[in-house]
Amino acid sequence: MHKETQRLIELDREHTLIAHIGALLGWDQETYMPPRAIEERSSQLALIEGLAHEKAVNPEIGELLAALEAKTDLSDDERAYIRVVRRDYDREVKFPQEFVTEYAKAASMSQAAWAEAKRKSDFAAFRPHLERMVELNRQKAAYLNPSAKPYDVLLDLFEPGSTQESIARVFSVMKAYLVDILEKIRSVPQVADLCSGRRVDPAVQEKISRYLMKVLQYDRERGRLDVSAHPFTTTLGADDVRITTRYVEDYFPSSLFSTMHESGHALYELGIDPGPEFRGTKLADAASMAIHESQSRMWENIVGRSEAFWQKHFPAISALLGEAGEGMDCVSFVKSVNKVEPSLIRTEADEVTYGLHVIARFEIESALFDGTLKVEDIPAAWNEKYRTLLGVEVPDDRRGCLQDVHWSMGAFGYFPSYALGNLYAAQFWAALTIEVPDIEAQIAAGDTSMVLSWLRQKVHVHGSRYQPGELVQKVTGSPLDPVWFEKYLRAKYSRIYGF
């Protein structure tokens, strides 16, 4: 390894340590921080973000990159590492220091305002904060690439190489088959919802969550489970990846599948292994947010909602539920948690309608940054999207445009990652089943270790060494193709619904 690479790694690790300190402050804000601490916490986060930015734009990084890029004897790892550092450095140097601290403080205040507005179902109270975050993201896009469409710039931050047009094309294909499958399901007798209305104490739900974390092999020595308004996963270090969930007393599957979803994220983070030389560097980051979502969605849905999985684990869950679980067996439970029905809440949506929730958000974000939609008109636009795409009426802001935390953080362009993650997950799963044809039998026997082992070797270990398109090509032998998700859905739901 060249001495310039070694020095670059030293500087990179300093930046990573500061970023992890910021993540710890953010985790505390969402879990245990007392409400009145928000103003000083916002200042703390702004300070940390400012320090991280100073480290990220150190001129020495640019000099080291230039020296390394002139060399012809770089190793493959060095080339991959330099590519990732160059990408991030070229972004960071475009942001003024004052913008970084201003953005961090505004985002922290905005998240707190969102949580309170959601509790009260009061969009008007959140509106000024959201307007500020939209404006700051316009500025961010202008700093990064003033000649490009703002939304294209923001999308690229989460899924490198993507644009509004490219995602719209994929979503057009996906929307067509989602609507077709939904219509077929509506034309046959419906599955009973046996889970809603069963009151399950949060303490019992926590026991179920911890049981599932153990089943999925989430290492509790390297993470923990807590409660937050919106479930999330955060990385505070290579051996400290934490998750949260939320407990809905009259619908226990909410916490069950949120825990599996977030565990999938955590397993990815904990499985990234670029080698000891690059530990704690940008090469230990995820390939993209859509790849990240593919891991969470695979564990939550493809594994977690399968009959094979519950053949082994339903008895244990039933025992924990006690009286609340009476009247359900494994088959009826699996059908219930796979019931397809247009609904209000994205995080609790079934696999078929979930993509329509994402498309609604994508179309609203597109309009926001095209200038054809004002922040004040978001509730009306949201309600209309849900009426036309899902056929449901939104009763209030809490279950409408205030349901997600993302916009309060300024994460515009993130939502498409969820739907793209479904596509990646289905394609990865198809490749896995070809290589391990008895995988369902293994899962039915209570053994998910082969799933984790395969993902570790094929996806996790690489970190950001490959671009998303390169990774899916390497793992599956073909570029991303929405057809694999369609095949998965049609096969699964034709069995459940008999169409």
Which of the residues are catalytic? 262
φ/ψ of residue 126, rounded to 5: -90, -20
For 172, counting Cβ atoms within 10 Å of its Cβ (0-12 exposed, 13-18 middle, 19+ buried), the class is exposed
Closest CA to 249 of 300, 206, 304, 194: 206
- Residues in contact with 361: Cβ distance below 8 Å, sequence separation at least 6, in sequence order: 346, 404, 415
Q: Which helix (H) or strand (E) holds 211?
A: helix 202-215
CA distance 132 to 100: 14
Lookup result for tokens 């891991």: 295
Q: Which helix (H) or strand (E) holds 235?
A: strand 233-237
CA distance 360 to 339: 21
Sheet holding 225-227, edge to edge: 225-227, 240-245, 233-237
- Distance between terminal CA atoms of the chain? 59
Residues forming beta bridges with residue 226, ordered by sequence position: 244
CA distance 21 to 100: 16
